[in-house]
Amino acid sequence: MYNIICKKYESGGDNHMAEDIVKIKGMKAGLMLSFSNGVKFEDIRKNLLGKLESGNSFFIRGTTVYIPRETLPTDQIEDLRKMFHQHGMLFRTELPKVSKPEIKTEQKKLPPDEDVQQMIIINRTVRGGQEIKTRSSVLICGNVNPGAQIIAGGSIDIRGTCRGLVHAGAFGNMNAFIVADQLIPTQIRIADLIARSPDVFEKVESPERASIKDGQIIIEPIVR
């Protein structure tokens, strides 16, 4: 049902893939793009469109792409934004600001190894372009729409339909899992493994659970 990719998640650092026109730098927050000096916008757009349509391994649906606002004129930035959105990717011109931890406790901060034992509850649908990131587990009473991202240190339980990007065990927890009433995401990640969704989904009547078994992400039906 899913095209399972058993490989290390390329989460960034100083990894570079140099191209004549487009340079791609992987980061934890997504992909940072830069362009060679003197290149025409038409050539940049053609190069990026070719990567998107050819299934380039960097341009996975649900991934966030960053192009600094000052790199190109506003109309060209908006042109690229529309192109990436049409291919199921998020687009930003600024890196996310570092914010305070989402989980607050009474007068104390939980050690990292205890965070995953906690759970936050989201009583709403998570819409496209929204991101929830926490070191704990997450219960979502609603849907996760295309373009939304859920990143959790623990497990993810969705009481609804999941069509966005979901990453459980984001800080290395191999025992984390993902459950949804309808599990049809753009991408599943557990710890450092990735499972891409197929081009055509089979209709499943029961909830499904994604977990790691024998070094692979396995999707199986469950009974709640």
Sequence spans of domains, the chain: 3-92, 112-221
Give the H or E element holding residue 217.
Answer: strand 216-221
**DSSP percent split of the chain into helix, strand, coil, nearest 5:** 15, 35, 50
Phi, psi of 45 (to 5 degrees): -65, -45
Element (H, E) at 78: helix 74-86
Structure tokens at 207: 């909830």
Pick from 97, 86, 87, 91: which is nearest to 71 by CA? 91
Q: How far apart are CA 194 and CA 175, in angstroms?
A: 15
For helices 74-86 and 41-53, the axis angle rounded to 10 degrees is 10
Confidence of residue 27 (pLDDT cuts 50, 70, 90): low
The string over 30-46, giving b where at least 16 C-beta atoms fall within 10 Å of a residue's C-beta and e elsewhere, is bbbbebeeeeeeeebee
**pLDDT tens digit sequence for 69-114:** 899 999 999 999 999 988 888 888 887 664 444 433 333 344 444 4
Cα–Cα distance, 97 to 109 (Å, whole number): 21
* Contact assessment for residue 12 and residue 30, using Cβ atoms and an 8 Å cutoff: no
Q: State residue 46's pLDDT score.
A: 93
Spatial separation of the C-alpha atoms in residues 86 and 3, rounded to whole Å: 22
Place of tokens 């730098």: 25
Q: Which amino acid is at 73?
A: P
Judged against a pLDDT cut of 50, whether residue 121 lies above it is answered with yes
Q: Output the pLDDT for position 157.
A: 95
Question: Which among 172, 140, 136, 142 is positioned nearest to 155, based on CA atoms?
Answer: 136
Can you tell me the distance from the alpha carbon of 2 to that of 86, in angstroms, rounded to the nearest whole number? 22
pTM of the entire structure? Answer: 0.52
Give the highest mean pLDDT range of 12-21, 49-58, 142-151.
Answer: 142-151
The residue among 218, 181, 199, 219 whose CA lies nearest residue 61 is 199
The Cα–Cα gap between 205 and 202 comes to 10
Domain 3-92 has CATH 3.30.230: no
Among the CATH numbers 2.40.50.840, 1.10.287.110, 2.160.20.70, 2.60.40.420, which is that of 112-221?
2.160.20.70
Which is higher by pLDDT, 139 or 199?
A: 139
User: CA angle, 8 as apex, 180 and 83 as ends, to 5°?
Assistant: 70
Residue that wins the pLDDT comparison between 218 and 4: 218
